[in-house]
Chain A
Amino acid sequence: MSLQTNFDVIIAGAGSIGTPTAFFLAQAGFKVLVIDSRPSTGQGSNKHAIGGIRATHSDPAKILLCSTAIDIFSHWQAEYGQDIEWRAGGYSFVAYDDVIEKTLKDLLDMQRGLGLNINWLDRDAFLELVPDINPASLRGGTYSPEDGSASPLKASFAFHQEAARRGAVFQFNENVIGIETKAGRVQSVTTDKGHYSTHCFINAAGSWSAEIGRMVGLDLPVRPDAHEAGITEAVQPMFSPMIVDIRSRPGSSNFYFYQHPTGKIIFCVTPNPQIWGFLDKDTSAFLPLSSRRLIETMPKLANCRVRRTWRGTYPMTPDGNPILGEIEGLEGFLLATGACGQGFMLGPGVGQLLTHLIQGTLFEQERQCLHSMRLNREWTSMEKLK
């Protein structure tokens, strides 16, 4: 345990959300402790993320948070020095039929209204952007050039380093086992290695956050949803945006992939039906399934070689949006979880938002964002661009 036992804020989870949150809080002068049960930063779900970062969502709150995140990721190296492999390669949702074309086009006005730089490319323009996309029955697709990608592990390590430099304490291989409250207020946190006083606790434990919620009698609707991803050998640059194909196919409800600056293709599917649970063993279905989708979307990749696959979990919520902010009846207990596989791209935005919340310096848009992402919501809306 840490020698220091009194903290302004204690964060459970040194992952995609916990590390940037620790950084912004430490930068704002708070005494921060981050506790994680794993041996180093980002070893829960962060390292399984493929690195895509987009502001192109259908929910205004997520657009706000991710726009903030892009601003932070894109300036990180210039400001703090670490190369987190940020690249503004853009995102493209591709359409091969009327329904998907309409779904994508219908969102454009709202997205532009929220300041997003996003356009519709017709078939020819799209083929110019991504010459190797399968042209057969291609309609076109969106293109949001300011979206991009970065290395989840390098970024969370950079947040960790900079947070630590500003006094944040990181305790690894340590498990939160209890959160003590008094008169409706957080008092202290007990781990398997020690006991720490604080009046502010942030549950940023992602897929594992429901377990921490139960320590204060909270039933968090966050469930682990298993996903697999893969990476190929490095080949010469072929295309820059993340390509998202939201067509449903047997076994998968979508498919997305991009070419990393090193030349490797990184790909992922959303299994259909979803597979619930803390499952980390590779399935026999994933390689054939994702290979078929790679060939279907970009036939040239048939000759590329897959190098590695892996599996991790999304902390899923009923509506596909995160759960953020304070809860009723327990002062000092904050939520920053349920990112539904978007924790990496949301992380810096969430970190800054919670810092403003704790500082008491929220601006109006942030207040609205917290309102729509509160725990006590209706769970009716649904993310359209999963």
Chain B
Amino acid sequence: MDLSYSKEDQAFRDEVRAFLAEHLPEEISSAVRSGGELTKAMMEEWHAILNSRGWLATIWPREFGGPGWSPVQKHIFEEECCRAYAPRIVPFGLNMLGPVLIKFGSKAQQEHYLPRILDGTDWWCQGYSEPGAGSDLASLKTKAERDGDEWVINGQKTWTTLGQHADWIFCLCRTDPDAKKQEGISFILVDMNTLGIEVRPIKLIEGGHEVNEVFFTDVRVPIGNLVGEENKGWTIAKFLLTHERTGIAGVGFSIQALEEVKAIACSTMRGGKPLIEDPLFAARIAQAEIDLEAMKITNLRMLFKAQEQGAPGPETSLLKIKGTVINQELKDLARRALGPAAAPFPGHVTEGNLMFGPADTEHNAARYFNNRKTSIFGGSNEIQRNIVTKTMLEL
């Protein structure tokens, strides 16, 4: 039993930290810090910076352009990126489609698409959820029918994150309407510029534009855009959902959030004293901090296990459940710490009078509301409990 990082890992951490200090543009990190929406240009700039260092596709094997990191190194990289307020990498091409193509794609697909993900030519989005297929994803209805050398796609996808920026979408489509629901699904790549696609924004609870509806009306794509076998898309869907789960606990983001809560509570006055000296509030911070300390170790234990076994196990569902709950608690504490100062709608009060502690807090309440998504997306926490019930408890 040894909780310390190896010399090599510590040296790696120093290297990452130095890289971030030198190459993460101030303009981008302060945008992340303020909690507002990032522009497409900012996300693309950071993508290009990481790519030029070879640190972009952190979970790809080396032969496809990955850095060949161990799970612990990936964890260190993510932790340091959080610490430096680097943007979260847009995961759809890199962490979702990339591993799918590497595992299930043809050589031609790998050679065509993977380099374009790395150099930023193609921005990908995910076509999974539908209005009637959320947690019960396998009941999806968007259909793709063969017509000569083409698929003809009709239907609707929703919750398509950053679809407004995307060049391509990977879609789960029903290709055999008569098969059992998991068995008639295929995984198809679609150019967003194809005739018949319409993207409509969904305005979210805090007013932001992050997700979209995507409508498909007689959208024709080449037969060759099928990944893997026809009607075997569900296998790919499951692979994609369970494949890469390091970082799912969001420990780095919660460490950030805890620091912000403490900073706000130190500079906010209640009853003539800093809020952090109020025992009721301090008790809530302390409980969240204890949960987070435990989560740091739980996360490392799972990483270690993944490293030993070669793949993360179903325990990652526990990380997701608890990690999102802790993060949401910290966001709630930050909003409470600001009190009435969190109330104005972002952008309505501009003259810096909402500046507390180290972080610009203008978007604080917006982040609180936006973060309610984390226990819903990627398999809701209830679905995670179902997974653990089946795989670990065998009930």
Q: Do A and B bind each other?
A: no
Chain B residues in the interface with A (C-beta under 8 A): none
